[in-house]
């Protein structure tokens, strides 16, 4: 993890923004994608971030959020400056998850994001995803799908996890939950491939005898 300057140090008005920040930031990412030199990348991020307001830094890292080795270290700085920014917390948590950080660290960031903004779906998804106990994970996805009833991704995760729990523990209630949830998804599905996959899942699960 980077050693980051404090928010007080950063906003004391004594520092100037990096002169060619967009160009230098893009070049930094291109160099990393070419040479995979993580140590050099982290050093350059630290030097760029030290002279740049968090809001400006967030603007310029936006095109590179799909590169977790870049987004994670940058958002460490942003979260240090804006500890109650739910979106920043979610981006940092997601970057950590993609780079293999443990569920405890990621789950803590997700919980902080939920506390900061209970409407942030990404935070709730990460909160559910990082639960290690299968039964508790089903309960979390059920809570998320009830909070956001139009969230198809949450319902898919609920159904998939319930089906997995039913198979592993011969749990009839989990099986019923999986089938019911898949059927609700089928009722609103419009793409032929989606409908076919859901119909197959429902047919398969309906034949289980637990």
How far are the Cα atoms of 89, 90, 177, 196 from residue 186, in angstroms, in the given order?
33, 30, 14, 9
Q: What is the pLDDT of residues 52-95, one digit of tens each?
A: 899 999 998 999 999 999 999 999 999 999 999 999 999 999 99
pLDDT, residue 92, reads: 98
pTM for the complete prediction?
0.85
Residue 35, token pair as written in the block: 């040479």
Between 1 and 21, the higher pLDDT residue: 21
* pLDDT classification of 48: cutoffs 50, 70, 90: confident
* Through-space distance between the first and last CA atoms of the chain, rounded to whole angstroms: 47
Selection from 176, 108, 109, 164 nearest residue 133 by Cα: 164
Residue 2, token pair as written in the block: 């980077």
- Asked if residue 27 has pLDDT above 60, the reply is yes
DSSP assignment of 68-128 equals: HHHHHHHHHHHHHH-TT-HHHHHHHHHHHHHTT--HHHHHHHHHHHHHH-TT-HHHHHHHH
CA dist., res. 158 & res. 57, Å (int): 36
Q: What is the pLDDT of residues 124-155, one digit of tens each?
A: 999 999 999 999 999 999 999 999 999 999 99
């Amino acid at each position: 993890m980077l050693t980051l300057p404090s928010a007080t140090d950063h906003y004391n008005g004594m520092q100037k923004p990096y002169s060619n920040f967009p160009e230098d930031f893009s070049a930094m990412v291109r160099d990393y994608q070419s040479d995979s030199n993580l140590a050099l990348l982290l050093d350059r991020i630290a030097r760029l971030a030290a002279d740049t307001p968090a809001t400006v830094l967030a603007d310029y890292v936006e095109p590179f959020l799909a590169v977790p080795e870049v987004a994670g270290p940058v958002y460490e700085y942003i979260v240090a400056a804006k500890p109650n920014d739910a979106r920043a917390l979610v981006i940092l948590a997601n970057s950590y998850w993609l780079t293999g950080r443990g569920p405890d660290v990621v789950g803590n960031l997700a919980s902080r994001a939920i506390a900061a903004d209970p409407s942030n779906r990404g935070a709730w998804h990460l909160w559910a995803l990082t639960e290690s106990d299968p039964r508790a994970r089903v309960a979390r996805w059920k809570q998320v799908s009830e909070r956001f009833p139009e969230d198809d991704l949450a319902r898919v995760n609920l159904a998939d996890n319930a089906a997995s729990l039913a198979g592993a523990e011969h749990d009839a209630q989990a099986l019923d939950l999986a089938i019911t949830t898949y059927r609700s998804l089928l009722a609103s599905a419009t793409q032929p491939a989606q409908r076919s996959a859901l119909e197959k899942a429902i047919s398969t699960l309906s034949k289980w005898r637990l």
